[in-house]
A and B are shown apart, each in its own frame.
Chain A
Amino acid sequence: MALTATESATSVTDSFGSAVALSCRECGARYDLGPVFACIECFGPLEVAYDFGRITRESIARGPNNIWRYKALLPVPADVEDLPNMNPGQTPLVRADRLAAELGLRSLYVKDDSGNPTHSFKDRVVAMAVEAARTFGFTTLSCSSTGNLAGAVGAAAARAGFRSCVFIPAGLEEGKVVMAAVYGGQLVAIDGTYDDVNRFCSELIGDPAGEDWGFVNVNLRPYYAEGSKTLAYEIAEQLGWRVPDQIIIPIASGSQLTKIDKGFQELIKLGLVEDRPYRVFGAQATGCSPVARAWENGHDVIQPVRPDTIAKSLAIGNPADGPYVLDICRRTGGAVEHVSDSEIVDSIRLLARTEGVFAETAGGVTTGVLRKLLADGVLDPEAETVVLNTGDGLKTLNAVSGTGVTATIKPSLGAFKEAGLL
C-alpha cells in the first residue's frame, strides 16, 4: 500500500513540473498541490510555488511556438505538448509606430492577444486549467465568465474531451454568447451580474453536486491563473529579453495584472532579463472602476461597485485581486486609471485606424488609458511602452455600431467618380 501511495504522490508531482506546493499569498501558509484555492487560515488566494531548475534563453528558444515553450516555468507535465490542448500563445507584439506618433510616444508596442485560438487571452489560462483538471480526474470543465472565458473553456473542453458547462450573466454580447455555445457544451445564463454568477459557482463547488467539476477560475484557479504569466514571458522575449519600461494592463478581477508582474519578477530572479525598474499601469472602465477609485482615494480596501459599462469583459464589481493590483502599481511607480464608455469606443477606432488592430472593449480601455495617462503627463513619452489588447473586436461589434460603408454606388466608374470618392 505504501508503494501505491508513493507512486501516486510522485505522479501528481510529475504532472506539475517544477511546481512544488501551493502557498498563500497573504500569510505564506503552504499546502500540497491539489484542487484547493483558498487558505484555511486567512481565506487568502493560494498560488503555485516552484523549485525552478536552471532555465536558459536557449532552452526556451528550443521549445514550440506556443505557451509550452515556457513549460519549465509553469505547473504542467514535461510532455504537455503531446496532450490535446488548444496550444495558445506566441501572439504578435505589434510595433505601433503610427499610434505612437499620433500620441507623441517614442516607442510603443501592442501585445495583440486577439490572435489566440478563441480570440482572447483566456486561452492561456484555460490551457493550464485543462492540465490540472486532467491530473485531478475532473470530468466536467466549468467557469463563471463574462464571455471570453466561457468560449475558451468550451473550446478547450471540446478538444480535450471534457464535458463543459459554463455560467454567464444574462445579456452579454451576442458574439460572446455564440462563441461560448458553438463548441457544444452547456451554456447557462444567470439572471444577475458577474459577481452573482461567481457566487453561485462558489456555492456549487461546495455542494456534493459539484464534486467532480473543475471550475477553471475557482477550484483550479491557482493553476489557471499561472497562464497569464506567459504574457510577461512573451513580451520580454519578443523585446529581445527585456522587460518594457511601462506596461498598461486591463483589470477585471486583477488576476492578469498580478500574474504578469509575477512573470516579470521570475524572469529577473532567473537572470533571464536585466533587473531594471518597470512601471505597471492598470486600466478600468469608469462604469466599473472600483480599483481605480481606491487608487484615487489612497485606499487599500476595495469597495465593490455595481458595474455599468460597455466593457463587459471587465465588468467585475468586486475584484478579488484588486488589493494586489494596488500594491503592484504602488511598488512599481505605476497608477490605476479609468476611461468612459465613449473614450473606449474612440480608442477602439483609434487603434484600428492607426495599427490595423481591432480590439474588443477591453482593448479600448487599455488604449484609452494609454492616451489619458500620456495627456496627463503620468506616462513617460520617452520610455518603451507596451499596451495590451486582450480580446477581439469581432466579439463586441455593437460597441462600434454605426461604423459602415463609405458609400453605396452602382458598379460603374462614372458612379464612383460622381460619388466624389477619388
Chain B
Amino acid sequence: MSVSVRVPTILRTYTKGQAEVTAEGSTLKEVLADLEANHSGIQARILDDSGRIRRFVNVYVGDEDVRFADGLDTPTPQGVQVSIIPAVAGGC
C-alpha cells in the first residue's frame, strides 16, 4: 500500500527538505518502518525508546488522530494521507 506522508519542518533534514514523501505499508507501524528505510534516523524522532509515539507528536491517518484509532496498528489504506504534526498548546 502506497501512502503519502506529510513531514513537519523539523523532520525535513531527513527528507532532503521535502515536505511530502511516499511510503509503503498497510499499518502506521509499517509505514514508519518504510520511512526509516528510506530516510535513516527519522523514526527515532517520532517514536520514543520504548517504541511508542512521542507524547508531543500527533500522527494523523487521513483526518483521524491515531490515538482515537489503533495507534501504531492503525490501518493505512492505499493513497491515504499520513500527517506528522508537533503538538501545539494555547489557542482558545
**Which residues of chain A have a CB within 8 Å of any CB of chain B?**
26, 36-45, 122, 125, 143-149, 192, 194-196, 198-199, 201-203, 205-207, 217-218, 221, 224-225, 252-256, 258, 301, 303-304, 306, 313-316, 318-321, 323, 362
* Given contact pairs A224-B90, A320-B88, A42 touches B10 in the complex (Cβ within 8 A): no
5 CB contacts below 8 A, A to B, read A45-B87, A146-B92, A194-B92, A198-B88, A198-B91
- Across the interface, do A43 and B91 meet the contact criterion of CB distance under 8 Å? no
Contacts of A147 in B (CB 8 A): 92
Indicate with 1 or 0, residue by residue over B54-86, a CB within 8 angstroms of chain A CB atoms: 111110100101011000000000000001011
* Given contact pairs A43-B45, A43-B56, A199 touches B85 in the complex (Cβ within 8 A): yes
Contacts of A255 in B (CB 8 A): 89-90
B38 within 8 A of A: no
Indicate with 1 or 0, residue by residue over B14-54, a CB within 8 angstroms of chain A CB atoms: 00000100000000000000000000000001000000001
- Across the interface, do B89 and A206 meet the contact criterion of CB distance under 8 Å? no
**Which residues of chain B have a CB within 8 Å of any CB of chain A?**
6-10, 13, 19, 45, 54-58, 60, 63, 65, 67-68, 83, 85-92
| CB nearest neighbor in B for A43 | B56
- Across the interface, do B92 and A316 meet the contact criterion of CB distance under 8 Å? yes
* Given contact pairs A125-B90, A198-B91, A318 touches B58 in the complex (Cβ within 8 A): yes
* Given contact pairs A43-B57, A323-B55, A253 touches B89 in the complex (Cβ within 8 A): yes
| CB nearest neighbor in B for A391 | B92
Contacts of B86 in A (CB 8 A): 37-38, 43, 202
Contact of B67 among A26, A304, A313, A320 (CB under 8 A): A304
* Given contact pairs A26-B56, A44-B56, A318-B65, A199 touches B83 in the complex (Cβ within 8 A): yes
Leading 9 A-B pairs by shortest Cβ distance: A320-B89, A38-B86, A320-B87, A255-B90, A217-B91, A253-B89, A43-B56, A321-B89, A255-B89
The docked-state distance in angstroms from the alpha carbon of A168 to that of B90 is 13
Contact of A145 among B56, B83, B89, B91 (CB under 8 A): B91
Where chain B touches its partner, the secondary structure class is loop
- Across the interface, do B91 and A45 meet the contact criterion of CB distance under 8 Å? no
CB distance from A286 to the nearest CB of B (A): 17
With A206-B8, A252-B91 already in contact, 8 other A-B pairs whose C-beta atoms are closer than 8 Å: A42-B45, A194-B91, A198-B91, A203-B83, A217-B90, A221-B88, A221-B89, A320-B89
- Across the interface, do B85 and A203 meet the contact criterion of CB distance under 8 Å? yes
* Given contact pairs A196-B63, A253-B92, A313-B92, A203 touches B56 in the complex (Cβ within 8 A): no
Contact of B92 among A148, A224, A321, A323 (CB under 8 A): A148
Contacts of B90 in A (CB 8 A): 125, 149, 217, 221, 224-225, 253, 255-256, 321
Contact of A143 among B19, B54, B85, B91 (CB under 8 A): B91
| CB nearest neighbor in A for B52 | A301
CB distance from B4 to the nearest CB of A (A): 13
Most A CB within 10 A of own CB, among B60, B87, B90: B90
Contacts of B56 in A (CB 8 A): 26, 38-39, 42-45, 320
The docked-state distance in angstroms from the alpha carbon of A148 to that of B19 is 32
* Given contact pairs A148-B92, A304-B65, A318-B58, A203 touches B87 in the complex (Cβ within 8 A): no
Contacts of B88 in A (CB 8 A): 37, 144, 198, 201-202, 217-218, 221, 253, 320
Contacts of A224 in B (CB 8 A): 90
CB distance from B45 to the nearest CB of A (A): 7
The docked-state distance in angstroms from the alpha carbon of A314 to that of B6 is 29
- Across the interface, do B89 and A217 meet the contact criterion of CB distance under 8 Å? yes
Contacts of A201 in B (CB 8 A): 88
The docked-state distance in angstroms from the alpha carbon of A147 to that of B91 is 9
- Across the interface, do B54 and A43 meet the contact criterion of CB distance under 8 Å? yes
- Across the interface, do A304 and B68 meet the contact criterion of CB distance under 8 Å? yes
CB distance from A136 to the nearest CB of B (A): 15
The docked-state distance in angstroms from the alpha carbon of A231 to that of B59 is 33
| CB nearest neighbor in B for A324 | B89
The docked-state distance in angstroms from the alpha carbon of A315 to that of B56 is 19
Contact of A43 among B7, B60, B67, B87 (CB under 8 A): B87
The docked-state distance in angstroms from the alpha carbon of A173 to that of B45 is 39
Contacts of B68 in A (CB 8 A): 304, 306
